[in-house]
Amino acid sequence: MKCSDFLKELSDYLDNNMDATTKAELEEHLQWCHNCYVVCNTTKSTIEIYRGSELYELPDELRGRLQKAIVSKCECHKRETQSPETPDPKPEK
Amino acid sequence: MDTIEQNVAEPPSEEMLLVGAARTGDIAAFESLVRRYDRNVFRIAQHITQNREDAEDVVQDAFLKAYQNLGQFQGQSKFYTWLVRIAVNEALMRLRRRRPERMISLDEDVKTEEDSMPREVADWSPNPEQQYSQAELKEILGKTIQGLPPSFRTVFVLRDVEGLSTEETASALELSVPAVKSRLLRARLQLRERLNKYFKRRDGDSRS
């Protein structure tokens, strides 16, 4: 197996999304190819570090404000689409 | 009690009950769905637009659009995947408005100036997270992902940050599964390459 072949399979390998034979071939390559071993490990770390990063968390204050705005927009839409004579909303076609 | 005859044996999930109630105008039910997913939608929107104000608008518009179009949600995909599709479209629209000079499309196979072949191969420090303060680390991660083309960034965020499956990501972005896989691999490798300069083991690192 060449390094370029290994790289093509790297994503599926990290996601554990492959058959046992291919996995064994990739792991055999990893045993002797230090470069691919390092790329594999550091790519795995890249994913983990972003997954755990809480990069764009929604602050509580903003969250409350957004929820209020959404609900009020939905209420507005509901009023506009509901005819005044029939209080029970019927889904329109 | 009457039973509803259906071919599907499984009872509707709690979420589908909420969707059903919201569809008949129950705003409290819809609010539960908002509370369930607003953090995710905000993260996705902020990642795509890279702008806080735009992300706030995307959250509002995406949920309103979802509410208005609940009648069209067929339940073939998860509600969340359907919502993500709406949010991604809203976010891309804002991004295009902000950067009209750049072509922003998810279905084009983007050529980037940087190849995805690893150029620099170095072990990283054992704990990059301990090497920098939380604030520094966030800055590094934010800056790094910002440099990716939107189509790579979006796929990476849905798959690796939000944890959608490849199929769900493909469905949310209206891309083929091979297209998602190819963008994901390139996104991962390019991020790795860029983070390398911050996290690679330095001579002073004695731990091995």
The boundaries of every CATH 1.10.10.10 domain in chain B are 114-207
Which CATH number among 2.130.10.10, 3.40.50.300, 1.10.357.10, 1.10.10.10 corresponds to the domain B114-207?
1.10.10.10
- Overall fold of domain B14-98: Rna Polymerase Sigma Factor; Chain: A (1.10.1740)
Torsion sign (Cα): A52, A58, A64, A67: negative
Q: Stretch A1-14: mean pLDDT, rounded?
A: 93
The boundaries of every CATH 1.10.1740.10 domain in chain B are 14-98
Q: What is the pTM of this model?
A: 0.85
B21: number of CA atoms within 13 Å, CB side?
A: 15
What is the DSSP annotation of B142-205?
Answer: HHHHHTS-HHHHHHHIIIIIS---HHHHHHHHT--HHHHHHHHHHHHHHHHHHHHHHHBPPTT-
The CA–CA distances, whole Å, from B168 to A25, A73, B8, B82, B171 equal: 29, 29, 21, 9, 5
Smallest CA–CA distance, residue B132 to chain A, in Å, is 12
SS3 B124: strand
Render pLDDT for A39-74 as a digit per residue (tens, 0 to 9): 999 999 999 999 988 889 899 999 999 999 999 999
CA A21-A23-A28 angle, 5° bins: 95
> What residues are paired with B124 via a beta bridge?
B200
Q: Which of A14, A49, A56 sits opposite B42 (nearest CB)?
A: A56
Q: What is the ipTM of this complex?
A: 0.84
| Dihedral over alpha carbons B5, B7, B8, B13 (to 10 degrees) | -30
The C-alpha atoms of residue A34 and residue A13 are separated, in whole angstroms, by 17
The C-alpha atoms of residue A24 and residue A17 are separated, in whole angstroms, by 13
Model pLDDT, residue B125: 78
User: Chain B interface, mutation test: which of A50, A51, A75, A81, most B Cβ atoms within 10 Å?
Assistant: A50
Between chains, do A71 and B145 touch, taking CB under 8 Å as contact?
Answer: no
Render pLDDT for B124-178 as a digit per residue (tens, 0 to 9): 877 777 788 889 999 999 999 999 988 899 999 999 999 999 999 999 999 999 9
The domain ranges of chain A are: 3-49
